[in-house]
Structure 1
Amino acid sequence: MKIPKELITDALCFSSPEELLNVPNELTVEQFSLLYVDFHPEEAPESDPKQEITWVWDLMFHMCRKAPVLALECVVNASRQPITEFQASCISAGALEDIIADHGPDVIDRIEALANESARFRYMLSGVWPRGQDKAGEIWQRVLRAREPGPDMDQGAPVPPADL
C-alpha cells in the first residue's frame, strides 16, 4: 500500500529544501515503517534524533491527525520489525497514543482485533496512556481490556517476538 503523495506533500509543506532531498518520490507503508523505526534510536539518546530523517516524524504526526487508519497500519508494520524496548515505547507513547486519543472510535475495533491476535501488539498497547480521554470512558476501557493479557512494558516485560 502506498502513502498518497498529497498526504506527504501536505505533511512536509514547512520542511526545508534540504530535508525534502531525503524524501523518496514514492513511499509504501512498509518502506515508511522501516524509516519510522529507524528514526527512533535503539536506546535513549544523549543527543537529538537522526536529523536527516526528521521528515519521518513530521509525516507520521500528520498521518495521525489526517489519516489515522493509514497511520495505524504504519504502526502495525513498525511493530513487525525488530525493535528494542526503547523504540517500542517511543512508538507506543507517540503515534499509537495519538491515534487512539484523537481517533479512538474510528480505530478501536481494529486495535482490539490486533491485540487479540498479537502479544507484540498488546505490548505496544501497554505503552499507551489515556491522554485526553476519560479513564472511565468506553474507548479507554476497551483499550485496557485489549491489552489486559499482557505482556506489559511498564511492568518490565521484554519485547515479545513479532507475531503479526
Structure 2
Amino acid sequence: MNQEEKTKLINAWISYHKNGTSTSQTNDQFWAWEMLDKFVSEQPELAWEVILGILAEDQSAVVMTNVAAGPLENLMARHGRSFVDRIDQQARKNSEFRFLLNGVWSSNIDPAILKKLTRYRKNPW
C-alpha cells in the first residue's frame, strides 16, 4: 500500500467514525473500517502504521475512542507480543498515544502485555 492509498484509508476511517456509523454517507466509507480490521488480523505492521496515521491526523474524542476500543485494542489482543515494545516506545514519547492506551479494554489482551504497559494505563475511560 503506497502513501496515497494509506492516506485515503486514514481519511475514510476518520470520516466513517466522525459522521456517525449509520448514515448513508458513512456506508460509502465502511470499506475503511473493514480494511483496517483485516489489516489488524493479516497485516499487523500495516495496521500499526495506519493506527499511528489516524492518531497523527485527528485527536477528536470520537476518533480517539474508536481507535482505542477498535484497531489498537485488537492489535494488542492479536499481536501484542510482537508490538508491546513499540507500543511502550510510542507511549513514552506521545501523550495522545498514552491517552489512547487508557481506552483499550483489557479483557482479551495477554496480562503480561498489560503489565508492561501499566504505567501508561492509570486513567481508564
CA contact (8 A) 1:97 1:131 kept: no
What percent of counterpart residues are identical? 24
TM-score, L = length of structure 1:
0.67
TM-score, L = length of structure 2:
0.86
Counterpart residue type for residue 72 of structure 1 = W
Quote how far apart the aligned CAs of 1:133 are.
3.0
For the aligned residue pairs, the C-alpha RMSD in angstroms reads: 2.1
Question: Please, which runs of 5 or more residues in structure 1 have no aligned partner?
Answer: 4-25, 155-164
1:59 lines up with 2:35 in the alignment? yes
- Superposed, 1:121-160 pairs within 5 Å as 121-134=97-110, 137-148=111-122, 152=123, 154=125
Please list the CA deviations of residues 141-161 of structure 1 after superposition, one character each: whole Å capped at 9, or x if unmatched.
12222444xxx462xxxxxxx
Select which of 62, 85, 96 maps to 2:61.
Answer: 85
CA distance in structure 2 between the aligned counterparts of 1:133 and 1:96, rounded to whole angstroms: 11
Question: Please, which runs of 5 or more residues in structure 2 have no aligned partner?
Answer: none
CA distance in structure 2 between the aligned counterparts of 1:96 and 1:133, rounded to whole angstroms: 11
1:30 lines up with 2:7 in the alignment? yes
Greater percentage in helix: 2
Moved over 6 A (4+): none
What is the number of residues matched between the two proteins? Answer: 123
Select which of 22, 28, 45 maps to 1:48.
Answer: 22
